[in-house]
Structure 1
Amino acid sequence: MVWPNNTPPQRDGDAAAGIEVTDDFEGFAQRNDIFTRAFWDKAVMSKHSAKFFASYRMEAAPRRGDGFTQRDFALRNAAWLISDLVSNRTADQGLRQGFQSPIQSDTPVAEDTVEVDDPAQMSVEIKRIAKFFGADLCGVTDLDERWLYTSRVDTRDMSDAPHDLPEGLTNVIVLGHEMEQDLVATYPSALAGAATGREYSHEASIVMQLAAYIRNLGYEAVPSMNDTGLVIPYAVKAGLGEYARNQMVITPEFGPRLRFSKIFTNLPLAHDQAKPQGVRAFCDICTKCAEACPVKALPFGAPEVGGGNVSAIKGVRKWTSNAEKCFSFWAKLSSDCAICMRVCPFNRDYSQTRHQLWLKLALSPLRHLALRLSKNHGGRQKPGNWWAKDPN
């Protein structure tokens, strides 16, 4: 379905967020997400994809390669445990929570509502509570229905199903969760996958706790991870970072090295604003991620209006990956890949002064110099060195 004629596809705030929506915009059905397609689309399904998903349980296939031993797979799968427990608790009902359906709240909405006289102050409070529970970043934006999936997926037969979100939700709280830099440095490896799994488990806990806090205040709150809507546009509009060539959000605190989760709520909150600082201009001249991709799934040219790829949203001008190529590499690897994250010049430890100075350079008219200084940045570290490192 093309976007309704009575609703303009472009909205206030889009330009600042770097979002360009055309008249051909169509909402995205999660059934077309590449990971969901791996369960129903013969163009994506393969013996490798089946082994990929099985390897996250007890069917990992360790091999001699550094980073793919039994110990590496053991850490990766253990890191995913809490996320798996949450996502599988209603699997028999076709609800894979946090991935193909929202996380179900165990906390009822309180009958008595705490009055909110100052939404701006409440936003400050929510950010404080989010960090108390363990989130590394937190921003707030409006619930822009363009980025909601047009339907969720009933995982019993992979069919479309309604979201059944509560009425009256108006805001989205976006949370960022930092991935461990030393593990990211070992991509591609099963060991590096522990960085991803740990944050999915963390975010499952954090969004449930923060949503419970809001519900105890007397407001609706729906905790969400990969489900229900596209988190990247919400994260950008919430002022957490800028969209990049590698399909990630570049943040000033962690570069691309984090996962995002979200909460849909009707709690009165003040919205943050997008903060364009120059990432787009840097990505215009940098193709390190595209060059490093083993299957050349990332674009080298300027942003284009997507839609040619089944797993790409239609009617949005942006850098879009070839999801089929990307996932095929993951499947053959039997683990996730984030080489594009590892080699990104923005992937740095910004607690160090030299990296803070580099960031200022990269976001300035001297970005070409910053790119030259990043020539040897992002090399792969041996997974064995991570195990050998003294934790103290």
Structure 2
Amino acid sequence: MSWPQNTPPRQDSDAAAGIEISDNFERFTQRNDIFTRAFWDPSVTSKHTAKFFASYRMEAAPRRGDGFAQRDFALRNAAWLVSDVISNRRGDQGIREGFQAPIQNDTPVAPDPLEVEDPARMSAEVKRIAEFFGADLCGITDLDERWLYASRVDTRDFSEAPHDLPEGLNTVIVLGHEMEADLVATYPSALAGAATGREYSHEASVVMQLAAYIRNLGYEAVPSMNDTGLVIPYAVKAGLGEYARNQMVITPEYGPRLRFSKIFTNLPLAHDAPKPKGVRAFCDICTKCAEACPVKALPFGPPQEGGSNVSAIKGVRKWTSNAEKCFSFWAKMASDCAICMRVCPFNRDYEKPVNRLWLRLALSRFRKLALRLAEKHGTRLKPGDWWAQSQKGSK
């Protein structure tokens, strides 16, 4: 029996979500994502790779310089702590929860399921509970099997392994988690990596708690972060945002400054719809992220069908990065880089009226004016200035 059951009929494309798929489409094998390849593929590993991973355990001597001192690495690694505890707890079984395998449930499914008479009302309730546990965004979509990984990864030898998931799952709850704006402004730095780590720790907590709530209602729920499937297509289909040149989802609330997680479930829920507003048209004329990338890993020009790179999904027409160039820069820095997020014109505080006005321009026929107004946007904040702000706040 094929898994999952109850998935909708497969379509060649999903025009409403801006997803264009060709006859060459193949589900992605997670073993080939660049971070997993760093453990088994000699063409990716280098003298810097081991130091990159060791720096997350403070085993490698921190680089000197603003943003790469011991306190910067210390904060970054502390931010990752909760996520690390979860991901490492079944490592001896080859299961890295949240990254190469779904998170194990610690709550049994209640034997008597709650009767759901109104899926739309249930969806509203789930979103309210997601907010209660700390998610900043929540959207719901169908479990489109195209975006599931073809297999999971056994981290003992990095071989392919079958998904060990319940049958009958038909819905994906997608959660967005905002990254701290001032930390993002310090990319590239180890300090900025604390913004990433904090949200991975947050999302681990949120997806586990929300999944436990659903299981207590008597329905299957599998909490998931980077594992099991590609979250970006699900986030777009769930109406949370639109795909951009910088490989990120642009949302009207936070721009690209988000991490995403998901829950696979069979709880009866109404699904949201994609909400294209014009990000694609803006990205067509904007190349700030590609220009700012130190190793030129981001594409110029229009979206193209990917798949020539082993770390790119085959048969999808989109903007696709050079994963090897990107990761090599990360490894040399011993920290993640998100310059492309920092310089993105959509990376703004939309609580400010002036930025909401800019967004309206960017998503309209006046997008060229919005681009000119964003020429100096995304200036880097010195990491030392971030620490100085925290010291001022303590007085």
Q: Do both share a fold (TM > 0.5)?
A: yes
The 8 Å contact of residues 151 and 161 in structure 2, kept in 1 or not, is answered as: yes
The 8 Å contact of residues 9 and 22 in structure 1, kept in 2 or not, is answered as: no
Distance 2:251 2:113 in 1: 35
Q: Show the counterpart of 2:74.
A: 74
The 8 Å contact of residues 58 and 73 in structure 2, kept in 1 or not, is answered as: no
| Gap regions ≥5 residues in structure 2 | 1-8
Distance 1:384 1:268 in 2: 49
**Equivalences for residues 326-345 of structure 1 within 5 A:** 326-345=326-345
Q: Show the counterpart of 1:4.
A: none
Aligned AA for 1:212?
Answer: A
Q: Show the counterpart of 1:275.
A: 275
Match of 1:66, SS state, is: coil
1:59 deviates by: 1.1
Match of 1:259, SS state, is: strand
Distance 1:231 1:319 in 2: 16
Distance 1:10 1:197 in 2: 36
Match of 1:149, SS state, is: coil
Deviations 1:276-328 (A, max 9, x none): 00000000000000000000000001000000110000000000000000000
Q: Could you tell me the percent identity over the aligned residues? A: 82
Distance 2:144 2:16 in 1: 15
Q: How many residues align?
A: 384
Distance 1:136 1:10 in 2: 32
Match of 2:140, SS state, is: strand
Normalising by structure 1, we get a TM-score of 0.97
- Structure 2 residue 373 is matched with structure 1 residue 382: no
1:362 deviates by: 0.3
Aligned AA for 1:259?
Answer: R
Match of 1:328, SS state, is: helix
**Equivalences for residues 150-169 of structure 1 within 5 A:** 150-169=150-169
Distance 1:43 1:269 in 2: 44
Q: Show the counterpart of 1:361.
A: 361
1:23 deviates by: 0.7
Aligned AA for 1:66?
Answer: D
1:65 deviates by: 1.1
Aligned-pair RMSD on alpha carbons?
Answer: 0.8
The 8 Å contact of residues 9 and 23 in structure 1, kept in 2 or not, is answered as: no
1:82 deviates by: 0.1
**Equivalences for residues 84-123 of structure 1 within 5 A:** 84-123=84-123
Distance 1:58 1:220 in 2: 38
The 8 Å contact of residues 330 and 337 in structure 1, kept in 2 or not, is answered as: yes
The 8 Å contact of residues 111 and 218 in structure 1, kept in 2 or not, is answered as: yes
1:63 deviates by: 2.5
The 8 Å contact of residues 193 and 335 in structure 1, kept in 2 or not, is answered as: yes
Distance 1:69 1:161 in 2: 39
The 8 Å contact of residues 223 and 263 in structure 2, kept in 1 or not, is answered as: yes
Distance 1:293 1:52 in 2: 19
Normalising by structure 2, we get a TM-score of 0.96
**Equivalences for residues 193-208 of structure 1 within 5 A:** 193-208=193-208
1:58 deviates by: 2.5
| Gap regions ≥5 residues in structure 1 | 1-6
1:9 deviates by: 4.6
